[in-house]
Amino acid sequence: MTENKGRRLFRYYPEDFGALPVRVVHMDITFDVYDGHTRVVSALTAVTLDAPLPSLALNARDLDILRVEAGGYAVAHTYDRDAATLTVTFDPPIPPRTEFTLDTETICRPNTHLLEGLYYDGLCPGGPPAQITQCQQWGFQRLVPCLDDMTAKCTYTTTIIADNGYTATISNGDPVGARIPCAPGRSMQRYENTKTPMAPYLFFLGVGCYDTYRREFEYPDGRIFALELLVKPGSDPIGAEKALDILAGAVMWVHLFTGPEQYRDREIREEIWRLVRVRNEVKRSGDASAVEEIRGRLRKLITTITPGYAYTGAVYREIAMQNSDFGGMENVGNTTIAANRIMPGPDTTDPAFEYLVRVKAHEYYHNENGSEVTGQSPFEIWLNEAVTVHVENQHHAFFFGETYSRLQTVLDLLDPVAGTLTLDRGAGSMPIEPDGFNDPNDLITGVTYVKAPEFVRMIETLMGKEAFAEALGRYHDRVRHANASRADWLRCMEEVSGQDFTTMAAVWLKEKE
């Protein structure tokens, strides 16, 4: 007889993503970047829970550990390189409900073959090699010892020290002052990401050479922030400006045509949409008094509606990347997009152009759905993605037409060779919310991006669009700056609609085609 109990079919199960041993508050990290290695000095501030904390296991993959300290405590550490775990023991144990700071100094090295953590991404002409990070799903632990879990949301201060040859040294949050010289041939730039506690998979660091296009974005109520497009040196300026037009359109569309009351006051929303375009034209012409007149009308109009999400940072960047496993990634304020899909050009085919429009809206909308409101664990990646794709589809339909847009999705679903439902009937497919998985990338498939949004769309159809928008708004308000489970999302849908979606969710989320 063989004992079956405890036998694991998958590498990861939901119970592997339990409560964290501490509450992470802040990370203050300095990256001293060189061509072949980066020295990382980190101060991780956390608070203990209701029991004393004798030791803490941190995720740390392929790092050299140089120093581990915690002020006021004698500290010992062991590094299990195979398990990618740095275990820190405190003497005495840290008392309950006590804030402490763990200081580490480590070395990470840019990858040449793996597009996770820090890796090379092309060359600066005549300069040092560009390096960028990809942290979804567990890339952050390749940068610094951490709790690499979607619920370990915290604020960040990030300092980048790097070669002067880079035109840009970037991380999440708002820049604190200018980039300043700090050593011969090197300079330092600091970022504060303190408004929105951020999950580790959204961390970004990039050093590279880009042509930077910058534009002021102005909301109808007068609030402004900067849109930045970082593209390959020598890129066509006309294409870059067109790319910024598309991005600015997506940002304004999300503000005016999403949110809990998006279907109310439609004429006013359309009028604001029109007036904003007129204002932008007049702004370019330099007629200051005409701009002020339109601004006055916009300020009045916007108070008569409830708008959708508005960006909270000082800069929203799109950064061209050469190498990635993904077409785009929403690194809070620093969306990376494949270089051949970030700006249109003469060689851009129609499908490539539509992808470009989609990916910009998709990654931007993740600011609200994914970054502010984050799934609880990789088992909720579908929730981050399905709702975001649902809204991306609405954006696509707004610009390309409802029927055309829907037909595209249906063809994606039904294509007999490569369609999502064909994939879903195959041996390698998993349910939208599987019981377990082996690699987080198994959760990023057509099932996630095409079938899961259909589940969201069916809920919307059953509830009605207005009720769905209200419920989605309630979900975002309730879970903002925290983590959401499938139950949290469904509860909002059920509360607003008065319908019971339990059986439907069990079938559609847990079963294959």
Q: Would you give the binding string for Zn ion spanning residues 339-378, x where CB under 5 A is met?
A: ----------------------------------------
| Residue 250: CB minimum distance to Zn ion, A | 14
Q: How many other C-beta atoms can be found within 10 angstroms of the C-beta atom of residue 291?
A: 19
Handedness of CA 137, 233, 344, 240 (dihedral sign): positive
Residue carrying the six token digits 């849908």? 493
Bridge-based pairing state of the strands 373-375 and 482-484: parallel
The pair of three-digit structure tokens given for residue 426, joined into one six-digit string: 């195959």
Q: Would you give the binding string for Zn ion spanning residues 289-308, x where CB under 5 A is met?
A: --------------------
User: Which range touches Zn ion (CB under 5 A), out of 190-198, 258-266, 382-390, 495-503?
Assistant: 382-390
Q: How many angstroms separate the CA atoms of 113 and 187, rounded?
A: 28
| Residue 352: CB minimum distance to Zn ion, A | 18
Contacts (CB under 5 A) with Zn ion, residues 471-500: none
| Residue 244: CB minimum distance to Zn ion, A | 21
Q: CB nearer to Zn ion: give 269 or 362.
A: 362
Cβ-contact 119, 132 below 8 angstroms: yes
Q: CB nearer to Zn ion: give 302 or 444.
A: 444
Nearest of 249, 137, 263 to residue 203 by alpha carbon: 137
| Residue 347: CB minimum distance to Zn ion, A | 26
How many residues bind Zn ion (CB under 5 A)? The answer is 1
| Residue 486: CB minimum distance to Zn ion, A | 17
User: Which range touches Zn ion (CB under 5 A), out of 30-38, 120-128, 385-393, 488-496?
Assistant: 385-393
Q: CB nearer to Zn ion: give 385 or 470.
A: 385
Q: CB nearer to Zn ion: give 318 or 385.
A: 385
CA atoms within 13 A on the CB side of 236: 13
Q: How many angstroms separate the CA atoms of 327 and 350, rounded?
A: 17
| Residue 359: CB minimum distance to Zn ion, A | 9
Contacts (CB under 5 A) with Zn ion, residues 440-459: none
Q: CB nearer to Zn ion: give 381 or 496.
A: 381
SS (H, E, C) 403-470: HHHHHHHHHHHHCCCCCHHHHHHCCCCCCCCCCCECCHHHHCCHHHHHHHHHHHHHHHHHHCHHHHHH
User: Which range touches Zn ion (CB under 5 A), out of 58-66, 123-131, 208-216, 381-389?
Assistant: 381-389
Extended beta strands in 199-233, E state: 205-208, 211-218, 224-231
Q: CB nearer to Zn ion: give 372 or 385.
A: 385
The pair of three-digit structure tokens given for residue 298, joined into one six-digit string: 């916009």
User: Which range touches Zn ion (CB under 5 A), out of 89-97, 141-149, 383-391, 420-428?
Assistant: 383-391
User: Which range touches Zn ion (CB under 5 A), out of 92-100, 181-189, 190-198, 380-388?
Assistant: 380-388
| Residue 201: CB minimum distance to Zn ion, A | 12
| Residue 238: CB minimum distance to Zn ion, A | 28
Q: CB nearer to Zn ion: give 166 or 316.
A: 316
Report DSSP state, residue 128. P
| Residue 385: CB minimum distance to Zn ion, A | 5
Contacts (CB under 5 A) with Zn ion, residues 111-170: none
Q: CB nearer to Zn ion: give 385 or 424.
A: 385
What b/e sequence results for 17-42 when a residue is b if at least 16 CB atoms lie within 10 Å of its CB, and e otherwise?
beeeebbbbbbbbbbbbbeeebbbbb
Cβ-contact 433, 376 below 8 angstroms: no
H helix count then E strand count, the chain = 12, 21
| Residue 457: CB minimum distance to Zn ion, A | 16
Residue carrying the six token digits 């740095």? 86
Q: CB nearer to Zn ion: give 148 or 385.
A: 385
Q: How far is CA 375 from the centre of its chain?
A: 11
Q: CB nearer to Zn ion: give 385 or 460.
A: 385
Q: How many angstroms separate the CA atoms of 363 and 378, rounded?
A: 18
Q: Under the rule (CB under 5 A), what is the footprint of Zn ion?
A: 385
